[in-house]
Every structure is written in C-alpha cells, then in structure tokens.
Structure 1
Amino acid sequence: MNLQTLTSGISPLDLRSCLISKKGEIIYEHYRDQDTASKIAKTNSCTKSILSALICIAMDQGLLPQADTTISTFFPQLAAKEDPRYREMTLHHLLTMTAGLEWTEFGGANSFPRMTRTPDWVQFVLDQPLRDAPGSRMEYNSGVSQLLSAILVQASGMPIARFAEMNLFGPLGIESYKWEQDPQGIHTGGFGLWLRPSDMLKFGQLYLNQGSWENQQLISKDLALRSVQPAIHVEAPRRGAYGWHWWADSYTLEAENTSEASFDYFYARGFGGQFIHVIPSLEIVVVLTDDKRKKAQFPGDVFRQFIAPFLLRREH
C-alpha cells in the first residue's frame, strides 16, 4: 500500500488537513491549500486533552493533589449542599466525565450552550443537580472541563495559557495559538483553543513518547500513561471508553487472505472533524482537521474508514 492510495481515498473528503507521523517523522502531509499549514484554527474539544496534560503537569509539580482529592477542596460551597454526593466528587470524576451532574451537552437547560450564555460559567456548573452517583456513569460535559480550568488557575496562581506556555507550549515549540476565556477570564477548558495542525501533531507525539519530548520529561510517564487508559466505557452511540479527557478504542481489520490485524489507540476529538489519534503499537500519530459545515462533511468516521485500514495494510 502506497501513500497515493491514501490520497485517492481521502481527496474527495476535502479535509482541511491530514498529517501522519511514524516514529516522529512525518510520512504523510496533506493541506487543502498552502495557507492552511501556517494558520491556527479551532480544535474545539481537543482542548480537553490539552487541559488534561496541564492537569497532569500540575500534579507532577505538586501544585495539584492526587486525582482522588475531592473538589470541595477548591469549591467549599459544595460542602454546604444538601445532597452529600457532591462531597464525594473528585478530580478523577471531573477528568473522566463521571461527576454525576445532570447535563445534556448540546441542548436543554443544563447544557454547554446555556453555560456560555451565563455571566459565571463555573457557578452555573456547580449549581447543576446530581443525577448519578459520582463515578458511576460517564456523561459528556464541557462544564466539568471548565471546573478543571478554574481549579488549575487556583493551583498555579496564573492564567492557564501562561502555565501552558511555561510547561507545555514552550518546550514543544508551539508559538502560534489563541485561547478563548470565560467572563471571569478563565481560559476555556472544554473548547476554545486554536492551533496549527503541525502543533497538534507535536502534542500527539508527546503522548506517543509517554510524556517525553526531546529528552525532557514534560509529563511523568506514570501520569501520561494513566491519563489515556480507559477509565469507563461510554454509552452508545459513542464507542470505546474514556480516560482523563481522552477517548480510547480499538480497531480490527479482517483483511482478505491475511490473518486478522488490530491495534488499540487513544485520541483527542473535537467537534467538526478535529482529531489527534495516537497508535502506540505502530508508533504512529494521525491528525485530522476540517472546517466545513456539518452538512458538507463526510458523515462517517474518516480515521476508521480510511486511515486505520490503510495503516494496517501498510504494516502487513
């Protein structure tokens, strides 16, 4: 299988970008036009995985306590709530989206769009009722990402973007970015970070290297590995599992005249076709970005339908 085969498969999809690296070397690079390579664009919920990295770094530095610490440490008002389950909510529950809050991400009274129309996003999330016991069920929730952002600001004593520049963006050589903020000036934890595709690839490579970059351990190996491990299985129509603001899944190719081939992978996913896929067993990172309106986008999973089978056939 040659790279031209992949090009012929994805060209009709009109992706904004598709980058593939193996062992740190780019083996495939496609941009819709010459300007795309140098332009930052919305990563949407890939922001969550960046935030996860920053939380891990803060834990490594001793700025944040262990993941089983209850968040009432940072939000004392939770201790006064009548429902005692609020006091059981931990950093791990926020990172795995298992906080138990009643939430519908894209609609209804308890939702991400509703949160963004309020004067205090963090308070809006803290005011939500509990539906499940913390830790029992995953409910996708950009509100808990904003709680993590607020916690990181408390712990580090600085804006998240500055913390990122010092501990993540700087070492990775990420110089061009934009990061949106809530009304209190807290950088958005669940979305709102703009990056170049090549810088998204660097971030994926950092995790392929288990937190190491150019002989510097930016994230401890223990936390880099723990954060991408499946923590809880997700409910249909989503597939796979969820870790610390990372998704995890596996892919199997039942190829003709060959033995079954498969791999496990973890990935950052953002609305509208933004992805960073990491495949440890193949030492491969794949970045996909798109910017078309939903009706104009390919309706399926580009990675699983085009990239994954190509990579496995190439390996075999």
Structure 2
Amino acid sequence: MQSKDTADQADAGKRDSHALVRTTPGAQGLSAAGILDLLRAMDADGLELHSFMLARHGQVVAEGWWHPYTEERMHMLHSVTKAFTATGVGLALREGLFGLDDAVLDYFPERAHPETPAHLRKMRVIDLLTQTSGHDHGTSGSVWRGISTSWIDEFMKIPVPHEPGTRFQYSSATSFMLSALVTRTSGVSLHDYLAPRLFAPLGMRSVKWDVGPEGINPGGNGASAVTEDLLKLAVLHAADGVWNGQRILPEGWVTAAGEGAPGRPYGLHWWALPGRPGFYAFGAFGQYGFVFPELGLALAITAAVRGSISRPDVGIPPLVWQYLPQIAAGADLHNRSEEQLRDYLSSRKLSPVHKTTPQLAAAGVNGRRFMAEPNEDDIRSIVLEIEPTCCRLVLEVGNRKHWISASLDGEWLESRTTLPGAGLHHGYEPAELVTAASGGWSNASEFTLQCQYVETAFRDTFVLRFERTALTLQRSVNVNGAGMHRPLVRAHAI
C-alpha cells in the first residue's frame, strides 16, 4: 500500500513541468474544514459540480473531479471566455495596438458611412470592456453561432439608443468586437495573439477556441480548457498580473478589471458585484474563475447548474462568499480535516443509470428497427442494440446514422458520437462529441439512457417506451439556454 507522500509524488510525476505546485490547505494557512463545508453545502443545494480547484499564492491546496470528468479533460467555458478576451485586450494595450479611449469605428472605417448613428461613432474601447456600449439589449453568443457571414456587420446592425459609457448592458456582442479589434490590429486571431504572450509563459497547453467568420474568435464564448488552465488565469490575476516574477499584465490592470461602478456590477470584462469580495469570470451553467487578490486566492469551478445561465449571483457564488471567511480563517488545529477533504474530493462521481437485470422485453426489441413518424428533429429510425454489458442506441437523422454506446453495468462507458444536439446544447453543434453513457431498464417496457457530453456541461436523457410494435422516444437535457425537452417521437416496428 502506498503512503500518502508516495502517492502524491507519483501523481506529481504524471503532471508536466507546467503544472502548478501542489500543497495542503494548512500549509497555506487555510482551513480544510471550511473548504469541505463549502463543498458539502454545494452538494446539499443540488449543485452539480464537474471540477473544483483552489489555489493560494499560486499553489493548489484542493482539487477534485466528478467522474466521468477528469483532470485531463477539457470543459466548455461559455462566457468565462470573456476573461481570456479581456486579458488579450490588456496585453494589446500594453503593446500600444490601441487605446482605451479610441473610437471603435476608427479601426473599422470601411463600416462607417454618412448614416452611421452618432452613438455608434462615439463608442470607445472602454465602453466595450465595461459593457456600457449604449445597447439596450444583450446578444447571446447562440444568436450569431449559426451565421456564416460577417459578425462585424451583425454588430453594426445593433441599435445604440443610449450614450456609450452611461448604461450597463451585458452582451457577448461587445466581447466579439474586442476580439475583432485585437485581430484587426495584430493581424492574428485572439487565440494566436495570446499563445506566446499568455498561454506559453503560464504553461497553458489546452485552450481551444472556436473561430467564426473572418477568422475571428467569438470573444464572448467558444473557449474550452482543462480546469487547471482556467485556474492559472485566476492565479495570474490574484498575483496582480505577475507570473513567476515576470509581469504579464500592465500595472494597474488587475485593479481596474476587478472594480465595478454604481449601476455597473462589472469591471473590465470581469464581474465585480458591490459588497462582495474579489471578482470573477462567469460562464453559463456554472463555470467560474474567482479571484480574491487580498487573500491571494484563486478558485476554478466547472459545473452544470440550472438557472445560472444569465444570473451571475445565484447558485455557486453565494456559497463561495458565505464560506470564504471560514476558509481564510487559518489552518485547522487537527490534520484530520485535510484527510477528510482529500477523501471527499477523490470520491466524487456523477451517478450513472443503476444496473438492472435485463427485462424480458429486451429480447423483443434488441436490434429491431422502428420507423419514426414525421418529427421536428427529422429522426427517421430508431434501433436499440443490446449486449450483455453494454448497448448502442442508433438514431437515423436525415440520411445519416448516429449512435451512442452505453454501459449496462451501472458505470459510464466512454465513446464518441456525431448525434446533433437538436437545440438542446445552447446552440452548439460540434461535428463530434466525447461521451460517457449508461443505460438500464426502469421496468419491463421502459429503457433509459443517459449520455454525458464530458467536455461540456450537457447531459442528455433518452427514454424509450415500448408497447408491442410501437415505440416512443423522449429526449431531454440537464441544462440549456432554451427548451429542455424535444417533442416526443413516435415510431413503429418493421
């Protein structure tokens, strides 16, 4: 049996040289009991976490992943992406590519014309950063995601009824324009601009970013990364923009990033709520990067939390603020709490479908093809292929077959699928997704399959109900920015 020290050394050996240093809460003057109380409170509130990493002064004091999520797996960050965009803007300002008070249209003169509204002409870079563009409504990234023509043109179409700089209105459209500005002035995408300036010095090796029309990263969303790389961004800001003694961000940038204003709970593309400690990046469904500069603390969380898509102040943040004083109160008197915290974080998992004894109905439906009635998702046929320990759900959508492989042993089976999201995944439609799935019989005529898309927050549930030669299929999702259920599909055996 390995000792704790030996096991930690073995784990450290698996990490590359760019990994953050691991230590204990007590060694950094933090309460393991407080961290554990926070985690248990999140669990008691029904908040589904996928990962948790806490660091002080750049050293990781607690970390855990909820299986089938793992340390090496990327996670879609949604609007946490905006913090990466802001960092790119800070670096571009440091290099003199543009100024905070520069008019946005000065860098896109081909989009200006005699009828361009006065407020649009007045819009400055700082107005984009602080979400005070003058717009009277926000634009979600999902709105433009399916548009293949210029998103710069889409931005120019948005009415600007208010004087820029006077009214807060959160929007991913402003984040896109910041990305477009960096690309216009640097000649490369924001991702490629950040690669040598941020990713390389911090050892961020996982960040991937969608690319929209004209080779521009969305800015407000579309980035994915492993949790440690998200944590590194928070650590950089907790250290006032300095990394291993090297100044990365301009002097004073972090202070400005974390300062809101009356009527504006937002700094420079980071949330800064009045009366709350620190500041943080927030992404739909529970993605967070918290920064507490006064305490030297950084916290990264990925999750799937309902009701948090457009509310940065619900779900996880109130609990973090509630338990922060206890966590920062000092090391525990007894080391037992650190062992309890390690045990808790090392045993986290999402519950798969419970293992069930195959029902007699399985013999009558195994491999049988059911032809679907006309439906909104254009599902043509449904087949459930059953083996002793696994199964495969095959859906013919349009003229293409897609399948999801699942365990029948009460475990998660990893695979890949090309099945379209059908509007359940906040507008995202990757060509292929990594899955972990499990299935089982609820009763003699009902089969349930859960499919966790393990590089995202999304989990689909497929319920198949068999009745003689008929079948109904109901598909739903755990979190989404729109509907949670697809219309019922009816099918008949052939």
Q: TM-score range by the shorter chain?
A: 0.7 to 0.9
Distance 1:88 1:250, change over 3 A: closer
5+ long unaligned stretches in structure 2 = 1-30, 330-494
CA RMSD of aligned residues (A): 2.1
- Work out the CA distance in 2 between the residues paired with 1:204 and 1:139: 24
2:94 counterpart (51, 60, 68): 60
- Which amino acid is the alignment partner of residue 114 of structure 2? A
Given the superposition, is the C-alpha separation of residues 232 and 166 from structure 1 closer, same or farther in structure 2, using an over 3 Å criterion? farther
- Counterpart of 2:278 (choices 265, 275, 281) is 265
Counterpart of 2:318 in structure 1 is 304
- Partner in structure 1 of residue 245 of structure 2: 215
**Mapping for residues 129-278 of structure 1, pairs under 5 Å:** 129-231=159-261, 233-234=263-264, 241-249=265-273, 264-278=277-291
The question of whether the paired residues in 1 share the 8 Å contact of 2:305 and 2:315 is answered with no
Cα drift, residue 231 of structure 1: 4.2
Distance in 2 of aligned mates of 1:5 and 1:162: 40
- Percent of matched pairs sharing the same residue: 26
Provide the rounded CA distance (Å) in 2 between the counterparts of 1:128 and 1:250: 29
- Cα deviation for residue 29 of structure 1 reads 1.1
Shift of 1:102: 3.9
Q: Which amino acid aligns with 1:68?
A: D
**Aligned CA distance change for structure 1 residues 162 and 149 (closer, same or farther; 3 Å):** same
Residues 74 and 151 of structure 1 are in contact (CA less than 8 Å); yes or no, is this contact kept in structure 2? yes
Quickly say closer, same or farther: Cα 1:98–1:4, change in 2 above 3 A: closer
Q: Distance in 2 between matches of 1:294 and 1:224?
A: 29
Query: Are the aligned partners of 1:96 and 1:231 in contact in 2 as well (CA < 8 Å)?
Result: no
* Shift in Å, 1:293: 6.3
- Tell me the SS of whatever aligns to 1:313: helix
Q: Deviations over 1:184-213 (max 9, x none)?
A: 221110000001111111100100111110
Q: Which runs of 5+ in 1 are unaligned?
A: 107-111, 235-240, 252-262
1:116–1:103 distance in 2 versus 1, CA, 3 Å:
farther
Deviation at 1:71, TM superposition (A): 0.9
* 1:278-293 → structure 2 map (5 Å cutoff): 278-291=291-304
Q: For 2:161 and 2:130, how far apart are their aligned partners in 1?
A: 16
Deviation per residue, 1:144-184 (Å, 9 max, x gap)? 11111111001111122111111001111011121001122
3-state secondary structure, aligned to 1:73: helix
Q: In structure 2, what is the Cα distance between the partners aligned to 1:292 and 1:264?
A: 22
Relative to the length of structure 2, the TM-score reads 0.55
Question: Structure 1 pair 127/163, CA: closer, same or farther in 2 (3 Å)?
Answer: same
How many residues are aligned here? 289
Q: Say if 2:84 is the partner of 1:50.
A: yes
Question: Is the partner of 2:97 in helix, strand or coil?
Answer: coil
Decide whether aligned partners of structure 1 residues 131 and 250 sit closer, same or farther in structure 2, where only a CA change above 3 A counts.
closer
Q: How far off is 1:34 after superposition?
A: 6.6
1:117 aligns with 2:141: no
- SS in structure 1 at match of 2:205: coil
Amino acid at match of 1:177: V
TM-score of the pair, normalised by structure 1: 0.85
Could you tell me how far apart the structure 1 residues matched to 2:287 and 2:57 are? Answer: 22
Question: How far does the alpha carbon of each residue in 1:43-100 deviate from its partner, in whole angstroms, 9 at most, with x for none?
Answer: 1101111110111101101122x20111121122335334222221100011111111
SS of the equivalent of 1:268 reads: strand
1:18, 1:31 within 8 Å by CA — same for their partners in 2?
yes
Alpha carbons 1:56, 1:224 under 8 Å: kept: no
Q: Is the 8 A contact 2:131 2:168 kept in 1?
A: yes
**Alpha-carbon shift at residue 9 of structure 1 (Å):** 2.5
Q: Which has the larger radius of gyration?
A: 2
User: Higher mean Cα deviation, 81-90 or 177-186?
Assistant: 81-90
